[in-house]
Structure 1
Amino acid sequence: QIEWNFRLQKTIDMVTLQTDLDMVSDKWPDQFLQEPKVVKDRDDNNVIVITGYPPHHNYDVQGVLVVVRKHDPAAVVI
């Protein structure tokens, strides 16, 4: 399992994000993205945590970031 953290600059619709992640997961056979969750960092910023379960740990974090940035263009990987 791999966990990615993305710092958000705004509140996003998690249902729509999940739909987009599901569409991306469908393009990566045998790989799975868990439902994203939002947590707060020490500075009280929203951080979205996405967990992937790839068979060979070869998820492309940039590909996931593209999906997140559809919802928050200022999101960054942390």
Structure 2
Amino acid sequence: MGLNVADLRRGEKGIIKEFTEDVLPIKLLELGCLPGNIVELVQVAPLRDPIYINVNGSHIAIRREVARQIALEPFSPDE
């Protein structure tokens, strides 16, 4: 299994590649959590759930379980 949002460390970024499950909360899609967009891990709660991400300028708190469903490809700022 490849990289997913739950694997990111604070400040790391990735490009959304696909969703591993067919069902993803519609609110995430409305907030810009779409393939091709860059996601950055902003903060992790003290008990490691939820996590706080930035996608297209939208700051979103999501459960780690949902974060594992968002597959990423590595982000390189040089590209």
TM-score of the two chains, using structure 1 as the length reference: 0.28
Q: Give the structure with the higher percent helix.
A: 1
Q: Give the structure with the higher percent strand.
A: 2
Q: Which has the higher contact order (CA 8 A, sep 6+)?
A: 1
Whose Rg is larger? Answer: 1
